[in-house]
Amino acid sequence: MRTILLIDNGSRRADSTLNLRRLAARLAERAGEPVLPVSLLHSDQVPADRLDGRPADTLAPTLHRLLTQGARDVVLVPLFFGPSRALTQFVPDTAAALTDAFDPFRLRIASELCPLPDGEPRLAEILAEQVEQAARATGRPVTRVVLVDHGSPVPEVTAVRRWLGERLAQRLGPGVRVEQAVMERRAGADYDFNGPLLEDLLRDLADADRATPVILAMLFLSAGRHAGPGGDIADIIGRVESEYSGFRIHPSPLVGSHPGLIEIFLSRLNALPS
């Protein structure tokens, strides 16, 4: 019998863990099997009283507990857009550290949300719907969009955002200019593949045209340090709007709030060989 874990990177913000739990419960309902919400790191630092009285689970102690209880077929469903080092290095290293202490066990990792080269058209459709939802609140047609993500030093992860940006532009049509930005990037030309920092790009857009609003297509799954109320993106929006009178920036809902995400998870789970 397999044991399914829905895994995210983890956050010190309670909202991120609560969203992971909601998604795991919805996936369990669709899959007809239990799904455990587990973070790789960080979330165990959130006080339990901010998590409905139940501490968050992280990967290493959860795997140890499951193996102690006799689990030998563990499936991880990643709450990641691309092949983060968390998936390609941290997870295998964590599993390898347990191999000497337990009988042989099977650990399988389902594909990430947007595996290249084929990508995931449903994810691009989710982004387009959420951009259009944010635009409706402005009462004006969409003409300028910035697709923003966390940023990664791994080119293969950035390639996912670029793939989604191209499909988003196709979906929104030729009258919409779609640009891309990151919240974090390393300094130097070696990391120019990441693109510009969000705040720098927004200032450039404001310098060019204050009157036309910008929709932020939020390539984030849960509220955390960058996205959501009180996050860095909200701070950036506040600073730029205050410095450029009349300039307005409208973030879209987070991808993790869209009901269609569960169907993608279910596809990844069902694609695993038995």
- Residue type present at position 247: F
Split at pLDDT 50, 70, 90, the class of 273 is confident
Q: Which pLDDT tens digit goes with each residue over 151-199?
A: 999 999 999 999 999 999 999 999 999 999 999 999 998 888 999 999 9
Sign of CA dihedral 218, 265, 80, 5: positive
CA 28 to chain centre: 20
Q: Both ends of the chain: CA-CA distance in Å? A: 11
Non-local (6+) Cβ contacts of 167 within 8 A are: 119, 121, 124
Split at pLDDT 50, 70, 90, the class of 58 is very high
Prediction pTM value:
0.94
The C-alpha R_g of the chain, in whole angstroms, comes to 20
CATH number of 121-257: 3.40.50.1400
* Domain residue ranges of the chain, discontinuous segments joined by +: 3-110, 121-257
pLDDT of 274 > 80? The answer is no
Which CATH code, of 3.20.20.150, 3.40.50.720, 3.40.50.1400, 1.10.10.60, is assigned to 3-110?
3.40.50.1400
pLDDT of 80 > 90? The answer is yes
Q: What is the pLDDT of residue 254?
A: 96
Sheet with 177-182, edge to edge strand ranges: 177-182, 144-149, 214-218, 249-251
